[in-house]
Structure 1
């Protein structure tokens, strides 16, 4: 239950620093009594993290933060949330805009804020630079290559972090004019649930709502997310759905070409020889994560269905087939100038044929990895 004296909080994330700064500035300028909070990780490699607070007139405080361990999750736990609670108790501000650092994804910040009754998570916004969006989604840099890693052994890629920042929120602030139409289309394809706006005074209207982290997590889970085709000039999202399993050897052979076909692909697959296991497909540019997403619902005993989330049950009903249950291929590929015809042909060539159905597999190249 929300506390009577709860303070509104808006989380602003984004890989692109200038776009993020303009979005934060627009919010604190438009909303009276607001303050912005930012943890600066630029010198985290030297063991230094600074907390900066500012309002529409300038810097309020700039302090070094002492942490037991220097990483984003420790900062969240040990300083950000306690500081927000102190601000709430002081009662001097109606809104705090939490500006994350480049390599921080919004989901853990949103989860932490929403878990506190004294705080009201009003919105999660990701700010994007129109000129940098496509190069960053198509690039091959790790965060470490740009000095943006936020913990020891942070091996995430720039494309992965940017995709997570775009797909999670319900508001995307698109900054800049170069390639704006193409950038807007990409954002709408990657996150159809989000409102795409420009950084400006209209952002103030978004601070009176409430962001639901559970709903966002359910919307994003590729084990049951539902994707749709979309075509806007050069930007295309192709959804491939089939009712037959994939042949593991042919999939493995074609994998590099399939993954490279789009900037982002996600969904679930059914692999021959793994009748009960749903595999989650999560690819960023040419990097693929393929892992178990648990059992298909059709493989569960009836008594276990009560423990399955309502979102997953509803999605399974949309996929349900009398012969194979919810087992299917359901993948979405988003890219610029995507060769949909070639991609579909390649994917279809990996399906198990009627002659192969029921025959034992001679070789499964995924056997040791999944």
Structure 2
């Protein structure tokens, strides 16, 4: 590709979601829900810190290994699944949840009945050669047809029509979420990584904060976030507020929040990659300890050795090597608090990833964006 050419959205360094921002009819209302939302780090962010924790000390290994939670998704899903890619590319479903700690309720993300929430989801596609990646955010408010699924305890759940995407996780946990994504996309999810946002806050604090710049003021009392336009170093609590805010930016939708999450994530990846931790063993251990307490994985990544091996293949992928887009959707004319899959454009995304190719620009042009792009830059 020549220097004068324009990168495609599916190629790291490309433009991401593009095209005019428009709505599919009606005046956009701010969603009524006010509870705090879950968030995520991509697979290699958490896992990459675990790699740095591989000191070889027995005590460290067993402590970190004991921190990890894992779920046997493959057994729950059985054999009726999309085929695995044969070229070394991988798809990882990454969810943000509030399941691992009662402390989540103190952050506003937990519920009084102790039930789990997952309001943020991304498919991370690692291209052949593991030198670049594409990330597709799946809006929680998308109305979908959820397939029949089973959880890891063997409980089964009937299919449901026109339900919110994030209901899959609250219905049958990780296995049902993976089943739903595979049904929606036709793509095999090779791994699953769930990030707990209470632990995420501690992880950001252990990193010493993350540097971002806001291009305009953000004021959202629901997420307890107030930021003036300009540069900031966000601590863990502020980072949580940023990635779950929706009322303070754009059209007040989940799509706007996705735009903020993607910008923050790129800043986080750059910062993690630039930190030299080997000169500070205590800080290195604290980060590895926080990271392993923050994630839940599929059983294939359920040990420090497995997670280290997986992450080692991703260490060369930084923010400049990946592109982020949002699953093509339009606002639901019948309910502006929901979005509908733009099936033709979405199929372009899934076909591109299935063939390990760039996502074509036409797949994201003219779809709903939330109107929050550019509010945060690293």
Q: TM-score range by the shorter chain?
A: under 0.3
Q: Which has the higher contact order (CA 8 A, sep 6+)?
A: 2
Greater CA radius of gyration, 1 or 2?
A: 1
Normalising by the residue count of structure 1, what TM-score does the alignment of the two structures yield?
A: 0.24
For normalisation by structure 2, the TM-score amounts to 0.24
